[in-house]
Amino acid sequence: MASFSVVAMQASPSKNFDEKLAATQALLRKALKDHVKITQASSLGAEDVVITHLLEAIKAEATNANFSADVFVLNTGKLHAETLSLMAKQQSTSPLMVRVFEPVQEQAIQFVKTNGEMAMRESVDLRMACCHIRKVEPLKRALQGYTAWITGMRREQSAARADVPAVDTSDSVRTKYNPLTDWTWGDVLHYIVTHHVPYNTLIDQFYPSIGCEPCTRAISLGEDFRAGRWWWEDKEGENAKECGLHVKEKQ
């Protein structure tokens, strides 16, 4: 761990944190009961390690013989060393299966050959094309056969996420559970500190949102949580601060 800990400094539970935690645990238990094929999407950010830890605790309950949830990570080939290190640690220590999905190598290589290593900085279209190859297509494979997935989206993270529901049934194929919607950043870090959850040390370098190395920077005091993602792009655009994983496809 870094000697200076943003996590310890910013851990600060809401007054009703215990109620929020109980509601989150209840929602996860219900999701696990309602879906045999359910998986957690993890970018190994603060919210994700909290959810994985909560799932591990539920799995440890003796009565949950039918527990079947797992976790998946999209290893885009562009992740920070800190993220890869935590991913390897989770794979070797978590009682949950941690599945890792990578882009189709030929597509990723061809994209770089045609457009250059830093094409994502040149236009939103090229950035979205890179995200499609490295994230969206692998996501489809990760979700194949699952009737539900769990994410760490919180309403506080950005204007685009201000209305995120705890249970999103807008996709007829798959339910999306967002059990931390009303948690604050202080709540998330409080859980990590209280339960000694291993976390991504990038957070101590002021990266509250974890993404690919070329597309994520540290944020300054007062900036939005996702200000460090694709910071060179138009903040108001349709795809602002999103990579396509949570953007609904047009009918």
- Name the residues that contact ligand SF4, by CB under 6 A: 76, 78, 120, 127, 130-131, 134-135, 211-212, 214-215, 243
Cα–chain center distance at 150: 9
CB 26, min distance to ligand SF4, A: 34
Q: What is the 3-state secondary structure (H, E, C) of 1-32?
A: CCCCCHHHHHCCCCCCHHHHHHHHHHHHHHHH
For ligand SF4, which is the closer residue by CB, 179 or 228?
228
**Does the annotation count 130 as an active-site position?**
no
Hey, which bits of the chain come out as E strands?
38-41, 70-74, 98-101, 148-150, 167-168, 175-177
Q: Which of 130, 131, 215, 243 is labelled catalytic?
A: 243
CB 190, min distance to ligand SF4, A: 29
CA torsion, ordered 20, 25, 30, 33, to nearest 10 deg: 170
For ligand SF4, which is the closer residue by CB, 23 or 112?
112
CA distance 126 to 122: 7
CB 207, min distance to ligand SF4, A: 13
Residue 115 burial (10 A CB sphere; 0-12, 13-18, 19+): middle
CB 159, min distance to ligand SF4, A: 20
Q: Which residues contact 130 (CB under 8 A, 6 or more apart)?
A: 111, 119, 120
For ligand SF4, which is the closer residue by CB, 142 or 215?
215
Give me the residue whose beta carbon is nearest to ligand SF4. 212
For ligand SF4, which is the closer residue by CB, 48 or 56?
48
**Residue at 102: amino acid letter:** E
Catalytic residues: 243
